[in-house]
């Protein structure tokens, strides 16, 4: 019994170490592949599959790009001196797992697409997102934004969040297109 307890404790420490290591993203090109994938799916913007998602591919692209751009604005407008490191169990779990469960959260109004999504708007938002992701690197590491479930997250944690969030929507797009 003691041996099992020691093994479980060691396993818990290993999992905690993995979770903490995956709590942020430091690479400068962390979203390049995902941005390219979003761009390549614009041509399939009208595809839908109600068994996978209530909304079409354009909605997922628009939402992903709005999320990147609005979060960048929040980071840029934040006061780094106000950031205080904090703990969020849900953030720790999601960042370690690397994905969100489907259908659990609802997008805030600021990042919800309009009823009519124009292709030209997708390309404009895509260009803005590319520029914002480059500028993100020059922000103070304590630039932050308040996430509804994960509390205040700093620049590098935000990069991890954006990678997970965009990947989540790319998986949904992939399933729609199957």
Domain of 22, CATH number, reads 1.20.120
The structure's pTM equals 0.88
3-class state of residue 116 by DSSP: coil
Neighbours of 93 (CB within 10 A): 10
In sequence order, the 6+-apart residues with CB closer than 8 A to the CB of 35 are 126, 129, 130, 133
Encoded tokens for 97: 């797992």
Q: What percent of the chain has pLDDT over 70?
A: 92
The residue among 137 and 26 whose pLDDT is bigger is 137
CA 60 to the chain's CA centroid: 12
Q: At 104, is the pLDDT very low, low, confident or very high (cuts 50, 70, 90)?
A: confident
Host domain of residue 16: 2-177
Give me the pLDDT at residue 106, please. Answer: 87
Give me the pLDDT at residue 56, please. Answer: 98
Q: At 27, is the pLDDT very low, low, confident or very high (cuts 50, 70, 90)?
A: confident
Give me the pLDDT at residue 144, please. Answer: 98
Where does 54-154 have alpha helices with state H?
A: 57-77, 89-97, 119-136
Give me the pLDDT at residue 76, please. Answer: 98
Closest CA to 57 of 47, 71, 72, 68: 47
Report how many domains make up the chain: 1
How far is residue 105's CA from residue 1's CA, in Å, rounded to a whole number?
40
Q: Which of 27-36, 53-62, 126-135 has the lowest mean pLDDT?
A: 27-36
């Amino acid at each position: 019994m003691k041996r099992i307890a020691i093994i479980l404790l060691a396993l818990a420490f290993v999992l905690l170490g993995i979770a903490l290591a995956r709590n942020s993203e430091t690479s400068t090109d962390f979203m390049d592949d995902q941005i390219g994938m979003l761009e390549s799916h614009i041509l399939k913007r009208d595809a839908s599959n109600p068994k996978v998602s209530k909304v079409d591919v354009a909605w997922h692209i628009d939402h992903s790009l709005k999320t990147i751009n609005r979060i960048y604005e929040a980071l840029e407008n934040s006061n780094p001196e106000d950031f205080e490191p904090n703990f969020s169990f849900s953030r720790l779990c999601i960042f370690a797992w690397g994905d969100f469960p489907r259908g659990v959260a609802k997008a805030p109004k600021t990042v919800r697409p309009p009823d009519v999504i124009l292709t030209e708007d997708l390309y404009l938002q895509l260009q803005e997102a590319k520029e914002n992701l480059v500028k993100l690197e020059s922000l103070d590491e304590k630039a932050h934004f308040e996430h509804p479930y994960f509390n205040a997250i700093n620049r590098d944690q935000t990069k991890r969040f954006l990678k997970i969030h965009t990947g989540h929507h790319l998986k949904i797009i992939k399933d729609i297109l199957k």
